[in-house]
């Protein structure tokens, strides 16, 4: 008797899954653990490697994350395909790595090739390091989304085979919740393992060596002997390509892998230069011979008749130039905050002035905002020293490592750490006049009074539309009255040979007399036009380098590209027919995934604000999310919930509560209470969402398809993360609420059987 597909009876929720014996189930749980470990570890390795190798992809690593999710999702959906895709994992990885190196080599070797990253001449959003090649008619301009699209497809296909293995392991499991728990435990182990290799600062050879070994293990049983032998050749190729990114031993050029960047250190007689992710970052200079700008705050203060700064805090201490400048002017205590341990170690080892050897200097490997909140010391001078990370905080959001340093609340933290009469100085090549205007206005509102703005080369005025690409701009606030008074009738003159400035007062209408008149640089206060610059960054909207509350056109193009390529890959690989019924997405699981992605994003951002934008905090948050999911699974196993409406209601209520509480509220709480309150507001919604998912998955008839549907929803959530650029991070939870409501309304309807 052939059943009518439209009238098939749904099994009872606790109906056993017939194909799996006890031994098969145990093996499937172990396989799920190993597969999930491999996927998570491989995913993090790809985010690090492709973001640091493919030029400018470092600013869009969320594309790599979504490609991994897409491949895993479509792979789960193909669990019942006869064709085995696991044999393509290693060859596609090899192709992707070769293409990554080719892309980098072509860009590095041919100056006529330009990658368009959103029109950096007049951008909606600024990406440091992308503006160095001026556009002209003879150049070949390649839109970044073309490069990103190629690698998005490649990475997605790399994860297709692993996703298929996962879907098949789920289908072979008798207990869905136990299988999902094994999956989560594997992911948790993957996070811990990658955290360990990050802590040890291991190179990609270690990451891809481990991943390659695991892939060989997972695919051996599914492939013929001849294909297994070929897999070893692909594995060797991947390891060889990974070894090209390993630390070098050449005397003038060395490669290191910090937890944040690929760092290239180059040294010759003239310079000691640090590049991060293939973009110039900083150079070490002997302060007495080069880099007069590092001395500028100290010179302005001294020549205005003020006492030398005694207690100095330098955020973004890097390789030590600003630390050495503070030493040269007699500071008695210097706290240097640097987030990257490798950059600090390079400065400690190679800086010609050896600033970190001084007993007056204490280095803190921490996020600058986190240090400001934890420290109770007061300072005469606080400096933001060329604070401009070239990497996103994580693949889950558009947040940069330094984003929370440039908000109204961050400036209030700086003010709280200044002594009465102290000064705050920040400087950088800010690229656009509207960034200078935004910083000047925000500093004026927080500190009171009119900040002093100085630009090298000298500018009398700075308009929002002015390009500041070739200008280093200093913004001084706090007790700047003596400097402002000295500049009322004078310029300030600084010599390009720093030691020349030590014996002279730089204030005057003319440069100091002498034979080196041409080496003096003129400085004077710039009038900054702030009309129309009303949008100031906050902890909820920490986007200093985004001009308006808008999704930049390059992001929109990227969103469309991801959506179209995802649909194309889904169309090619996923459509199947099972048991005479046409395959279809599980929309309840799909929107559960979309909502959960936004929950994770908000959780990561929330914890980064409160405890620092470091990789350690990141790892702890992701691990905590997985632990909370395990607790949800345990609850479903013990309590066996039948109706999910109460949990949907509790989830939505907890999300509404979270949206009503500004993140700044948590900053004012004492330590232990802050941790408890933050965990409650972050992890309680995750707990309820986990209960819903585990209960739905427990009753799944097609676990591979349902899990794939959930992961596909994660991609939608990743695309909607871009709306944080418009509404801020707190309001992302309103979008998550909408997704969860859709999940509740679109749950599958069970139909009664008809004989």
pLDDT tens column, 296-338? 999 999 999 999 999 999 999 999 999 999 999 999 999 999 9
Instruction: Average the pLDDT over 170-197 and give the result.
Output: 93
Letter string b/e over residues 631-641, b meaning 16 or more CB atoms within 10 A of that residue's CB: ebbebbeeeee
Residues 507 and 576 in one domain: no
CA distance 357 to 375: 22
pLDDT of residue 12: 39
Would 702 be classed as within a structural domain?
yes
pLDDT of residue 368: 93
pLDDT tens column, 669-681? 777 888 888 888 8
Q: Determine the Cα angle at 754 with ends 748 and 755, to 5°.
A: 145
Instruction: Average the pLDDT over 697-724 and give the result.
Output: 90
Would 472 be classed as within a structural domain?
yes
pLDDT of residue 16: 42
Among the ranges given (157-166, 206-215, 222-231, 541-550), the one the predictor scored with the smallest mean pLDDT? 222-231
DSSP state of 12: P
Residues 469 and 609 in one domain: no
Among the ranges given (86-100, 239-253, 284-298, 652-666), the one the predictor scored with the smallest mean pLDDT? 239-253
* pLDDT band with cut points at 50, 70 and 90 for residue 38: very high
Residues 505 and 592 in one domain: no
Q: Give the burial class of 39: count Cβ atoms within 10 A of its Cβ; 0-12 exposed, 13-18 middle, 19 or more buried.
A: buried
Residues 239 and 297 in one domain: no
CB 467 within 8 A of CB 121: yes
Residues 424 and 487 in one domain: yes
Q: Determine the Cα angle at 161 with ends 159 and 162, to 5°.
A: 65
Q: What is the dihedral of CA 635, 638, 641, 646, to 10 degrees?
A: -40
* pLDDT band with cut points at 50, 70 and 90 for residue 123: confident
CB 506 within 8 A of CB 494: yes
In which domain, by residue range, is 675 found? Answer: 572-755
pLDDT tens column, 714-754? 999 999 999 999 999 989 999 999 999 999 999 875 443 33
Among the ranges given (423-437, 686-700, 710-724, 736-750), the one the predictor scored with the smallest mean pLDDT? 736-750
Best CA proximity match to 472, nearest among 460, 486, 454: 454
Instruction: Average the pLDDT over 455-464 and give the result.
Output: 94
Residues 56 and 189 in one domain: yes
> Which CATH number belongs to the domain containing residue 661 in this structure?
1.20.1250
Would 321 be classed as within a structural domain?
yes
Q: DSSP E strands: which ranges in 465-622?
A: 467-468, 472-478, 491-495, 507-508, 520-523, 527-528, 577-578, 581-582
Would 588 be classed as within a structural domain?
yes
Total domains in the chain come to: 3
pLDDT surpasses 70 at 468:
yes
**pTM for this entry:** 0.90
Among the ranges given (131-145, 569-583, 649-663), the one the predictor scored with the smallest mean pLDDT? 569-583
CA distance 146 to 55: 12
Best CA proximity match to 598, nearest among 716, 477, 498: 716
CA distance 584 to 582: 6
Q: Give the burial class of 476: count Cβ atoms within 10 A of its Cβ; 0-12 exposed, 13-18 middle, 19 or more buried.
A: buried
The residues near 18 (Cβ < 8 Å, ≥ 6 apart) are none
Residues 414 and 466 in one domain: yes
pLDDT surpasses 80 at 575:
no
Residues 195 and 314 in one domain: no
CB 180 within 8 A of CB 697: yes
CA distance 431 to 467: 6
CA distance 124 to 104: 26
CA distance 252 to 254: 7
Instruction: Average the pLDDT over 389-409 and give the result.
Output: 84
The residues near 182 (Cβ < 8 Å, ≥ 6 apart) are 29, 30, 32, 33, 36
Among 246, 277, 308, identify where a domain stops: 246
Among 246, 275, 309, identify where a domain stops: 246
Within its chain, how far is the Cα of 66 from the centroid?
A: 13
Residues 445 and 327 in one domain: yes
Q: Determine the Cα angle at 212 with ends 25 and 246, to 5°.
A: 145
The most confident of the ranges 260-269, 317-326, 518-527 is: 317-326
CA distance 97 to 108: 17
Would 260 be classed as within a structural domain?
no
CB 87 within 8 A of CB 161: yes
Residues 374 and 484 in one domain: yes
DSSP state of 308: P
Phi, psi of 246 (to 5 degrees): -80, 160
pLDDT surpasses 50 at 498:
yes
Would 533 be classed as within a structural domain?
no
Among the ranges given (136-140, 211-215, 629-633), the one the predictor scored with the smallest mean pLDDT? 136-140
pLDDT of residue 220: 82
pLDDT of residue 523: 94
Q: 3-state DSSP call for residue 432?
A: strand
Residues 743 and 648 in one domain: yes
Calculate the alpha carbon distances from 315 to 87, 384, 615, 642 in Å.
Answer: 48, 5, 18, 53
Sign of the alpha-carbon dihedral angle for 368, 370, 372, 376:
negative
CA distance 11 to 748: 13
Task: Summarize the chain as % helix, strand, coil (round to 5).
Answer: 55, 15, 35
Best CA proximity match to 398, nearest among 49, 44, 63: 63
Q: 3-state DSSP call for residue 164?
A: helix
Place of tokens 């695991």: 214
CA distance 396 to 251: 38
The residues near 101 (Cβ < 8 Å, ≥ 6 apart) are 53, 241, 244
Strand order in the sheet with 272-276: 253-257, 262-267, 272-276, 279-284
Would 563 be classed as within a structural domain?
no
Among 476, 493, 528, identify where a domain stops: 528
Q: Give the burial class of 202: count Cβ atoms within 10 A of its Cβ; 0-12 exposed, 13-18 middle, 19 or more buried.
A: middle
CB 144 within 8 A of CB 151: no
Helix (H) or strand (E) holding 262: strand 262-267
Would 4 be classed as within a structural domain?
no
Helix (H) or strand (E) holding 48: helix 22-53
The residues near 511 (Cβ < 8 Å, ≥ 6 apart) are 493, 517, 520, 522
* pLDDT band with cut points at 50, 70 and 90 for residue 515: low
pLDDT tens column, 103-119? 988 888 887 888 888 77
pLDDT of residue 121: 67
Residues 584 and 720 in one domain: yes
DSSP state of 241: H
Letter string b/e over residues 114-153, b meaning 16 or more CB atoms within 10 A of that residue's CB: bbbbbebeebbbbbbbbbeeeeeeeeeebebbebbbebbb
Query: Does 457 sit behind a cis peptide bond, omega within 30 degrees of 0 on the bond before it?
Result: yes
């Amino acid at each position: 008797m052939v059943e009518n597909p439209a009238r098939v009876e749904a099994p009872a929720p606790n109906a056993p899954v017939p194909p799996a014996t006890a031994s098969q189930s145990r093996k499937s749980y172990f396989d799920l653990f190993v597969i999930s470990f491999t996927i998570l570890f491989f995913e993090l390795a790809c985010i690090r490697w492709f973001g640091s190798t493919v030029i400018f992809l470092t600013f869009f690593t969320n594309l790599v994350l979504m490609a991994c999710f897409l491949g895993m999702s479509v792979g789960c959906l193909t669990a019942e395909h006869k064709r085995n895709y696991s044999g393509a994992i290693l060859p596609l990885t090899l192709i992707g790595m070769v293409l990554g190196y080719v892309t980098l080599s072509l860009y590095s070797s041919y100056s006529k090739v330009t990658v368009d990253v959103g029109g950096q001449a007049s951008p909606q959003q600024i990406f440091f390091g992308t503006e160095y090649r001026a556009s002209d008619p003879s150049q070949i301009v390649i839109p970044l989304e073309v490069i990103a699209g190629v690698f998005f497809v490649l990475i997605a296909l790399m994860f297709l085979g692993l996703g298929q293995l996962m879907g098949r392991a789920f289908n072979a499991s008798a207990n869905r919740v136990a299988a999902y728990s094994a999956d989560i435990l594997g992911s948790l182990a993957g996070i811990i393992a990658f955290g360990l290799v990050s802590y040890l600062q291991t190179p990609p050879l270690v990451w891809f060596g481990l991943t390659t070994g695991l892939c060989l293990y997972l695919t051996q049983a599914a492939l013929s002997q001849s294909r297994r032998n070929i897999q070893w050749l692909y594995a060797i190729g991947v390891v060889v390509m990974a070894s090209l990114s390993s630390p070098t031993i050449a005397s003038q050029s060395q490669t290191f892998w910090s937890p944040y960047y690929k760092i290239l250190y180059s040294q010759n007689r003239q310079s000691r230069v640090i590049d991060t992710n293939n973009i110039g970052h900083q150079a070490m200079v002997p302060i007495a011979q080069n880099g007069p700008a590092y001395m500028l705050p100290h010179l302005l203060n001294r020549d205005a008749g003020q006492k030398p700064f005694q207690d100095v805090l330098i955020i973004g201490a890097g390789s030590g130039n600003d630390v050495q400048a503070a030493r040269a002017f007699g500071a008695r205590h210097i706290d240097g905050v640097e987030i990257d341990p490798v950059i600090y170690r390079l400065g400690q080892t190679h800086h010609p002035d050896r600033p970190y050897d001084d007993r007056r200097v204490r280095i803190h490997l921490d996020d600058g905002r986190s240090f400001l909140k934890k420290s109770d010391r007061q300072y005469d001078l606080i400096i933001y020293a060329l604070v401009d990370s070239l990497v996103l905080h994580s693949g889950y959001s558009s947040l940069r490592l330094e984003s929370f340093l440039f908000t109204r609340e961050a400036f209030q933290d700086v003010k709280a750490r200044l002594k009465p009469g102290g000064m705050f100085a920040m400087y950088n090549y800010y690229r656009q006049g509207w960034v200078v205007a935004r910083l000047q206005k925000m500093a004026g509102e927080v500190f009171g009074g009119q900040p002093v703005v100085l630009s090298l080369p000298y500018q009398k005025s700075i308009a929002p539309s002015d390009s500041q690409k070739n200008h280093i701009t200093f913004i001084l606030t706090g007790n700047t009255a003596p400097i402002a008074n000295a500049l009322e009738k004078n310029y300030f003159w600084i010599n390009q040979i720093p030691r020349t400035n030590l014996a002279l007062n730089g204030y005057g209408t003319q440069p100091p007399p002498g034979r080196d008149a041409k080496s003096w640089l003129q400085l004077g206060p710039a009038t900054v036009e702030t009309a129309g610059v009303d949008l100031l960054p906050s902890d909820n909207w920490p986007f200093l380098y985004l001009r308006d509350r808008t999704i930049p056109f390059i992001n929109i193009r990227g969103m469309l590209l991801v959506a179209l390529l995802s649909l194309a890959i889904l169309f090619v690989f996923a459509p199947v027919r099972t048991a005479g019924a046409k395959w279809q997405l599980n929309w309840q699981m799909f929107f559960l995934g979309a909502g959960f992605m936004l929950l994770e994003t908000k959780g990561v951002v929330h914890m980064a604000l409160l405890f620092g934008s470091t990789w350690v905090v990141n790892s702890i948050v992701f691990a905590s999310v997985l632990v909370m999911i395990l607790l949800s699974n345990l609850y479903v196993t013990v309590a066996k919930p039948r109706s999910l409406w109460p949990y949907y209601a509790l989830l939505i209520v907890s999300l509404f509560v979270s949206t009503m509480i500004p993140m700044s509220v948590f900053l004012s709480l004492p330590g232990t209470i802050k941790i408890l309150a933050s965990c409650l507001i972050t992890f309680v919604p995750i707990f309820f969402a986990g209960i819903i998912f585990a209960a739905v998955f427990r009753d799944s008839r097609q676990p591979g398809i349902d899990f794939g549907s959930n992961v596909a929803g994660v991609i939608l959530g990743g695309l909607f993360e871009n709306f944080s650029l418009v509404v801020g991070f707190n309001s992302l939870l309103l979008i998550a609420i909408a997704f969860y409501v859709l999940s509740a309304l679109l749950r599958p309807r069970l139909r009664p059987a008809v004989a």
